[in-house]
Amino acid sequence: MIKTINILFVTCFGLGSIRFAPGTITSLISTIFLYSLFHIVNLSNTIILLFLFLVFIYSFYAVSEYIKFNKDKDPKEIVVDEFIGQSVPIYLYEIAHGSTKDPQESMLFYLYIFILFRYFDIKKPFPVSFFDKKFKNSFGVIIDDVVAGLYVVLTLIIFMVIKSKFF
């Protein structure tokens, strides 16, 4: 039973089994899911953080168990890392902008976050590539996407600073 739960968890309930672009589809659905939690359901930031933290912690175990007997230590069907990586910039955007946000502006930033995350996750600039290549275990599978998410945060901060100084 725990094996089935781990498979469902690491594949984000089967999204990783999609043949075409499972990582991109998972990132898109994650973006929509998180937008729903923040803007439609209106869950508190604390509850969402607790949920994301639990997913993050459990993912190390679940991914480790999934790849234990697998030759490929980062198989494409593991997409929980995309969910986690996509969650980092979205959560930080939400807490940085407080409780009053224009829904259209939020949608636009969610779109920017989605596009930037996919770019950094696919291109793997250093140190994303370092974690991806150096650690062939659950740590490497997850942390490279966390670092890609942090690149998104850095890019948006630079964008906002430039926008405030020159426009």
The rounded distance, in Å, linking the Cα atoms of 128 and 122 is 10
Picking from 60, 65, 84, the residue whose alpha carbon sits closest to that of residue 12 is: 84
159-166 long-range Cβ contacts below 8 angstroms, 24+ apart: none
- Tell me, what's the pLDDT at 99? 66
Per-residue pLDDT of the chain in tens (167 residues, 90 and over written 9): 888 899 999 999 999 999 999 999 999 999 999 999 999 998 999 999 999 999 999 999 999 999 988 877 778 899 999 999 999 999 999 998 776 677 788 899 999 999 999 999 999 999 988 988 888 888 989 999 999 999 999 999 999 899 888 87
Residue matched to tokens 């929980």? 80
**pTM, entire model:** 0.92
Where do the structural domains in the chain lie, given as residue ranges?
Answer: 2-166
> CA dist 78 to 64, 104, 128, 133, Å?
11, 32, 17, 16
Tell me 16's DSSP state.
G
